[in-house]
Amino acid sequence: GCRSKRAKTHRSMIAVSTRYSSKRYCVIDGQKTAVLTVGIVGSELCLALPALPNDSRNTFGVLNVNGQQCTLRAKRIPIQQRHLLTKAPDPAWNEEYLDFPPTILQ
Look at 20 and 1; give whichever has higher pLDDT. Answer: 20
- What average pLDDT does range 48-63 have in this prediction? 86
What is the pTM (predicted TM-score) of this model?
A: 0.74
| pLDDT for 90 | 95
Contact 25, 86 (CB under 8 A): yes
pLDDT tens readout for residues 65-105:
788 888 899 999 999 999 999 999 999 999 999 998 776 65
In angstroms, the CA 53 to CA 34 distance is 15
Compute how many other C-beta atoms are within 10 angstroms of the C-beta atom of residue 100.
Answer: 19
Residues sharing a CB contact under 8 Å with residue 29, sequence separation 6 or more, in sequence order: 75
| pLDDT for 45 | 92
Residue 90 DSSP class = -
Give the pLDDT band of residue 16 (cuts 50, 70, 90).
low
H or E segment and range at residue 35: strand 31-41
**Residue 72: which of 43, 40, 46 has the closest Cα?**
46
